């Protein structure tokens, strides 16, 4: 069973991650198509500059994260794989509700969870620690893309160094 899980997008707050996302054609196209929604802000520059990104209000940041995640999902769909289930973090009021859903899903033998983060959130630790899953079924959408995985390991290691 393939589950698409849209994280809260917290990793997008990281400048290094945002700059890396600009390597993805679908992300650039998404920024161009949705620029008009963001008055007095150049989305491309906001992706490259932490001060400008910090000037976005909560709703603008939330919308930008959603747009970026949807662009990653559209890229993933081009692989021709249909998900069996889509779960979005924002549709749940707290993590315990998501945890209950994934506790049920964890009983499925061939579970594969593709995160639209990029990266993971507290779900990874929950699956590994609380459900004692030996091999995590979580896969980041970028690391699963054969045309993008070449740079993602460096991005992840850079995040661990400065966060």
The number of distinct structural domains making up the chain is: 1
pLDDT at 161 over 50: no
3-state secondary structure of 32: helix
| Predicted local confidence at residue 156, as pLDDT | 66
* pLDDT reading at 100 higher than 90: yes
What pTM did the predictor assign?
A: 0.87
Cβ(123)–Cβ(130) below 8 Å: no
What average pLDDT does the segment 73-93 reach? 93
What's the alpha-carbon Rg for the chain, to the nearest Å?
16
Output the pLDDT for position 163: 34
pLDDT at 123 over 90: no
Q: What percent of the chain has pLDDT over 70?
A: 88
Give the mean pLDDT of 38-66.
95
Euclidean distance between CA atoms 61 and 12, whole angstroms? 9
pLDDT score of 134: 57
Whether residue 76 has pLDDT greater than 80: yes
pLDDT over 90 percentage in the chain: 58
Structure tokens at 5: 């899980």
User: By residue range, what is the domain housing residue 90?
Assistant: 2-162
Mean pLDDT of the chain: 87
Query: Residue 83: pLDDT above 60?
Result: yes
How is 96-155 classified by DSSP, letter by letter?
HHHHHHHHHHTTSTT-EEEEESSS--HHHHIIIIIS--SS--EEETTTT-TTTHHHHHHH
pLDDT reading at 77 higher than 50: yes
Q: Which long-range contacts (CB under 8 A, 24 or more apart) does 124-131 make?
A: 126/95, 126/99, 126/102, 127/102, 130/99, 131/102, 131/103, 131/106
């Amino acid at each position: 069973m393939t589950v698409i899980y849209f994280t809260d997008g917290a990793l997008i707050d990281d400048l290094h991650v945002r700059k890396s996302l600009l390597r993805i054609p679908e992300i650039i196209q998404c920024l161009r198509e949705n620029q008009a929604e963001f008055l007095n802000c150049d989305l491309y520059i906001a992706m490259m500059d932490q001060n400008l990104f910090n000037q976005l209000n909560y709703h603008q940041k939330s919308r930008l994260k959603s747009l970026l995640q949807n662009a990653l999902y559209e890229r993933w769909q081009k692989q021709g794989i249909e998900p069996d289930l889509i779960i979005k973090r924002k549709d749940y009021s707290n993590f315990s509700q998501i945890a209950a859903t994934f506790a049920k899903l964890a009983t499925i033998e061939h579970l594969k969870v593709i995160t639209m983060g990029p990266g993971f959130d507290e779900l990874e630790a929950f699956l590994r620690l609380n459900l004692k899953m030996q091999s995590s079924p979580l896969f980041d959408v970028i690391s699963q893309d054969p045309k993008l995985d070449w740079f993602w390991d460096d991005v992840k290691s850079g995040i661990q160094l400065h966060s």
